[in-house]
Structures are given as C-alpha cells and as structure tokens.
Structure 1
Amino acid sequence: MKTKIVSTSDQRTANNAVRHAYRTLSDTEKAQMQEVKDMGAAFIAKLHEIGGTDTGGDRFASRDLSLANTHAEDAVMRAVRHITA
C-alpha cells in the first residue's frame, strides 16, 4: 500500500490546489520528476537563447516562443502528474 500524506501536512506539494492527499514518492520517482523538470527548464532556457531574451524573465521574443514555453510547462506538469499519481 502506498503512503498518503494529508494535504494539511507540511509535506504536501505547495503548488497543487486539487489533491487532498499525497503519497510518498520512491527514490526512482523523485529522480524521474527531477529529470523531467530539468529537461523542461533546459528547453525553456533554449527558447530564451533563441529569442535573445533574459532567462530569468517571463517575456519571450515572439508569440511563437511564448506558446512553446506554455506547451513546455504543460508537458512538464502532465509528466509530473503522471509520476506522482
């Protein structure tokens, strides 16, 4: 049985407004989640490089790069949701 963590616990995921209970992740799942997030961050950094914008900012050089960023963020979120489900 997988361990659940109550949403009011300090161990909850701070940015998840939907789940009310969380399970403890395995070391493999934690590594997968970190890798997916690192890949997303690297892709978003590349978008800033392509557009010549500040990597610490949220502005992109074009609508297309902004949409690519949005889709990258969505892809990372959905992969993490799969890992943590």
Structure 2
Amino acid sequence: MTDTVDSTSDARTANNAVRHTYRVLSDTEKAQMQRVKDIGAAFIAELHAIGGTGLETDRFASRDLSLANTHAEDAVMRAVRHITK
C-alpha cells in the first residue's frame, strides 16, 4: 500500500480506511476538484501572509485567522464531496 495517492487519481482509495468504494471521476470532475483544492490552498496561504506567519507552520496569528482557515478547509471538503458524490 502506498503512503500517498494523488487526489485526482483513480487509485485514491488505496490509503482510505473508511470509504471503500468510489466512482471513477470524469476528467472534468478531476479538474474541478483540483481547482477547488488549489483555490483553498491559495486562500490559506493568504491567511498566513495576512498574519505574517509562514506556510511551514500550522499556527495562525489570531483566532480569527485560525477560524478562517478551519472554514476554508471545510468549504473545500464540502465542495469536493459534492463533486465526488
């Protein structure tokens, strides 16, 4: 079993202990999922820039920025769940 699998790979169940079956995504759905994740990552990077913290840390400069990060992660997860359902 591999340690990591690209999220757009058809082999994405290889390291997932909970969800055992996935449908094969179309190329359009894979691109949508990648865009959503890229947008989320860019937003989180901007939160670090606003607070003056580096991407190498998971800590934010304030509780508000930490909450913004949590909500961004949730938004990405929910969008991906919609795409992959």
TM range (shorter): 0.7 to 0.9
CA shift, 1:18, in A, is: 3.6
Correspondence for 1:29:
29
Q: CA distance change for structure 1 residues 17 and 75 in 2, over 3 Å: closer, same or farther? A: farther
* Counterpart Cα distance in 2 of 1:22 and 1:67: 31
1:60 is aligned to 2:68 = no
Structure 2: give runs of 5+ residues left out of the alignment: 1-9
How many residues of Structure 1 are paired with residues of Structure 2 in the alignment?
Answer: 75
CA RMSD of aligned residues (A): 1.6
When Rg is computed on C-alpha atoms for both structures, the one with the higher figure is: 1
Q: CA distance change for structure 1 residues 23 and 70 in 2, over 3 Å: closer, same or farther? A: same
Q: Which runs of 4+ in 1 moved over 6 A?
A: none
User: Once the two structures are aligned, what percentage of the paired residues are identical?
Assistant: 80
Residue identity in the other structure for 2:28: T
Structure 1: give runs of 5+ residues left out of the alignment: 1-9
Structure with the larger strand share: 1
